[in-house]
Chain A
Amino acid sequence: MTTSTDHYYVPEPSRWPLIGAASVFTFLFGTVLWMNAWGAGPWIMLVGLGLLAYLFRGWFGDVISENLSGSYNGQVDQSFRQGMFWFITSEVFFFITFFGCLYYLRNITLPYLGGEGYLGTSNILWEGFTYSWPPLQVPDASNYTVAKEAMGPAGLPLWNTIILLSSGGTLTWAHWGLKKDNNRQLVLGLAATIALGVVFFILQAYEYGHAYAEMDLTLNSGIYGSTFYMLTGFHGFHVTVGTIMLMVILARAMKRHFSEHNHFAFEAVAWYWHFVDVVWIALYIFVYWL
């Protein structure tokens, strides 16, 4: 009955949602303790993370086996697709927030502090501060370490752009393979994408290290450091998540889970990865370049 494809598949009761809610709670609870320097914090965070990993494994495991047993009809597949689409939409707004902040701070309020624009009078509170971007000066440096130089577009960031863009290419190549039912091409394409993602991650980590050690560009360098790390950091977080998802997909591809007609999981991850790509391009333009 449940496998009949003219019935929309409504799953049996499942314990994962409850576990999911509990693990999110545990992790965040631990985080608060950690941030306030309570010894138990990191341990509770670890428990939460463990629970989360267990959860994802279990929940997605269930979904995968239901899928493989043919419980899902086309309408269920549509639900998954649309769900993923709306999820990415919400992610878009998440990044719009951060880009909006960058715009606002850089083009509206920092000039005020430097004596330009509508609230330019504010400058009398910060004698000697002038507006420039990237700001290698903050209005009052007593609580901040000021960056010595700005992060330019050449060098590593440019390499990273090339890497991420080509990872989009390899992923599309993998998709072509899938469509042609060529599993070898699919697996190779995925592996290449993952490799590029990892290289990106390493370069990014190296860049952060360089910024901290040599440029004094840190989270604590006033508004420049704040926006720089917020935008690149959240993007980097998305790359990490995306790479993990790609690894899962690779493992599944090697088990030949996907067919020409049934590969929602692959496409969801691909959309996500392309989204992360596009965000990077915007980042490259607005954070490193302009």
Chain B
Amino acid sequence: MSKRGLGWLNGLVTSVFAGGVMADWEINLPEPVSPVTREIFDLHMLTAGVALVIMIIVTAVIMYSLWKHRKSAGFEADQHFHESGFGKWAWVFVPVVVLGIDLSIAGKAAKVFDLVEDTTKPELTLKVIGSQWKWTYEYLEDDIRLVANLNRDIPETDPLYLRDTDHRVILPVDTRIRFLHTATDVLHAWWVPALAYKKDSIPGYINETWSIIEKEGVYRGQCAEICGTGHAFMPIVIEAVSKEKYAAWVQDKKLAAAAALVEASADKVWSKDDLMARGQEVYAGNCLACHQAEGQGVPPVFPALKGGLITTGEIAGHIDIVLNGKPGTAMAAWAAQLNDLEIAAVVTYERNAWGNDTGDVVQPADIKAARK
């Protein structure tokens, strides 16, 4: 291959990696906005560069040989090549060179890895819980809880299709954030390439990652470990805001949460309409991913709630499955995740929506009783 050809190849590939050629095609890891992801990005560019150089050398040697040493050009095989100095010593020479490259890559990688593993001294701890198929976030210091579901109102042609959620995770910039990863049912993996590399969310165990977001903005990612039917449908959206805005947001959230708690625990008797309205919200936020918007489910995996035996049968049975779930299936126990009001509302909703029309009204007090 000629020099010009090599230069051309080199140019093409570097520009592809650098993202120059096709402006609106993402072809590399996104621009990092955290110290860890930046170090990882540089490491990635280094190894990709080494890979590229090796490929160029290998290709060049082979191409040259194919051209020069073909029989059709009259080349006679050199039966003594393996006895030449190179032939005798290649078994030392080749491994040593490869070992050298290996160790330099590994050395650099080990340094970056030290940084990755350093999850100490967080200023903010965010517990991220994966469930089929939504993310729950708990701000441990501030006792805030947030559930994010796929935003289903975006058309297939929109670049945000499958990349947007109903609630955003709000995080402050320039703050050392520690993420704790776990799951309630199966494996998931929380991955926002620009600011947080992935660690798996494993039910019963907690993995840790960290980040310092350096730039305000909206960052997107999605679940990166197969988790069943809805694996393609659990995106992540983070909005990084200034520290002041974040403090204000926390304040708002706390007030709202306190109000909701008071509301739920007050021994108030709710009207059916109120319960239906709230129930619909709860349903959309928690149940719709499996049981679908019209309660039709996805048989045989997810049963239809519309006209279902349980949803139109005994109230106690209905409350029981929502509180305790069904072990061994995707149906989770909701007792810990939803408060009495929410469960009462969603059960009332399910018993009256989509033509179930049982007319039953379930009150928070009933749920409190059912919890034992």
A112-B327 in contact (CB<8A): no
14 A-B Cβ contacts within 8 A?
Answer: A112-B205, A119-B205, A119-B206, A121-B180, A121-B206, A121-B208, A122-B182, A122-B205, A122-B206, A125-B205, A125-B206, A126-B204, A139-B204, A143-B327
A124-B204 in contact (CB<8A): no
Per-position contact with A for B185-227: 1 when CB-CB < 8 Å, else 0? 0000000000000000000111110000000000000000000
B206-A124 in contact (CB<8A): yes
A113 at the interface (CB under 8 A from B): yes
CB closest residue in chain A, given B333: A142
For A124, the chain B residues whose CB sits under 8 A away are 206
A178 to chain B, nearest CB (A): 50
In chain A, positions 107-135 with a C-beta closer than 8 Å to chain B are 109, 112-113, 119, 121-122, 124-126
* B-to-A contact residues, CB < 8 Å: 180, 182, 204-208, 327
* A-to-B contact residues, CB < 8 Å: 109, 112-113, 119, 121-122, 124-126, 139, 143
B204-A125 in contact (CB<8A): yes
B235 to chain A, nearest CB (A): 25
CB closest residue in chain A, given B182: A125
B122 to chain A, nearest CB (A): 12
State in angstroms the CA–CA spacing of A113 and B202 once bound together.
Answer: 12
For A121, the chain B residues whose CB sits under 8 A away are 180, 206, 208
A23 to chain B, nearest CB (A): 32
For B205, the chain A residues whose CB sits under 8 A away are 109, 112-113, 119, 122, 125
For B327, the chain A residues whose CB sits under 8 A away are 143
**How many cross-chain pairs have Cβ atoms below 8 Å apart between A and B?**
22
State in angstroms the CA–CA spacing of A221 and B206 once bound together.
Answer: 24
Name the residue among A109, A122, A139 with the largest chain B CB count within 10 angstroms: A122
| B207 in complex: contacting residue of A113, A119, A126, A139, CB < 8 Å | A119
B212 to chain A, nearest CB (A): 20
State in angstroms the CA–CA spacing of A121 and B210 once bound together.
Answer: 15
For A126, the chain B residues whose CB sits under 8 A away are 204
State in angstroms the CA–CA spacing of A126 and B206 once bound together.
Answer: 11
CB closest residue in chain B, given A112: B205
CB closest residue in chain A, given B208: A121
A21 to chain B, nearest CB (A): 32
The 3 A-B residue pairs whose C-beta atoms are closest, nearest first, are A121-B206, A122-B206, A122-B205
State in angstroms the CA–CA spacing of A91 and B327 once bound together.
Answer: 35
State in angstroms the CA–CA spacing of A122 and B180 once bound together.
Answer: 9
B237 to chain A, nearest CB (A): 26
A113-B204, A122-B204, A125-B182 known, 10 other contacts, Cβ within 8 Å: A109-B205, A119-B206, A121-B180, A121-B206, A121-B208, A122-B205, A125-B204, A125-B205, A125-B206, A139-B204
State in angstroms the CA–CA spacing of A11 and B204 once bound together.
Answer: 56
Name the residue among B180, B182, B206 with the largest chain A CB count within 10 angstroms: B206
CB closest residue in chain B, given A126: B204
For A112, the chain B residues whose CB sits under 8 A away are 205
B156 to chain A, nearest CB (A): 38
State in angstroms the CA–CA spacing of A139 and B205 once bound together.
Answer: 11
CB closest residue in chain B, given A119: B205
A171 to chain B, nearest CB (A): 45
For A109, the chain B residues whose CB sits under 8 A away are 205
State in angstroms the CA–CA spacing of A139 and B207 once bound together.
Answer: 18
Name the residue among B180, B205, B327 with the largest chain A CB count within 10 angstroms: B205
B218 to chain A, nearest CB (A): 29
CB closest residue in chain B, given A124: B206
State in angstroms the CA–CA spacing of A121 and B125 once bound together.
Answer: 13
For A122, the chain B residues whose CB sits under 8 A away are 182, 204-206
A226 to chain B, nearest CB (A): 15
B200 to chain A, nearest CB (A): 11
B227 to chain A, nearest CB (A): 18
For A125, the chain B residues whose CB sits under 8 A away are 182, 204-206
State in angstroms the CA–CA spacing of A121 and B207 once bound together.
Answer: 8
CB closest residue in chain A, given B180: A121
A36 to chain B, nearest CB (A): 13
A240 to chain B, nearest CB (A): 31
For B208, the chain A residues whose CB sits under 8 A away are 121
B110 to chain A, nearest CB (A): 17
B190 to chain A, nearest CB (A): 16
State in angstroms the CA–CA spacing of A26 and B250 once bound together.
Answer: 62
Name the residue among A112, A119, A121, A139 with the largest chain B CB count within 10 angstroms: A121
A255 to chain B, nearest CB (A): 53
For B180, the chain A residues whose CB sits under 8 A away are 121
For A139, the chain B residues whose CB sits under 8 A away are 204
State in angstroms the CA–CA spacing of A113 and B207 once bound together.
Answer: 12
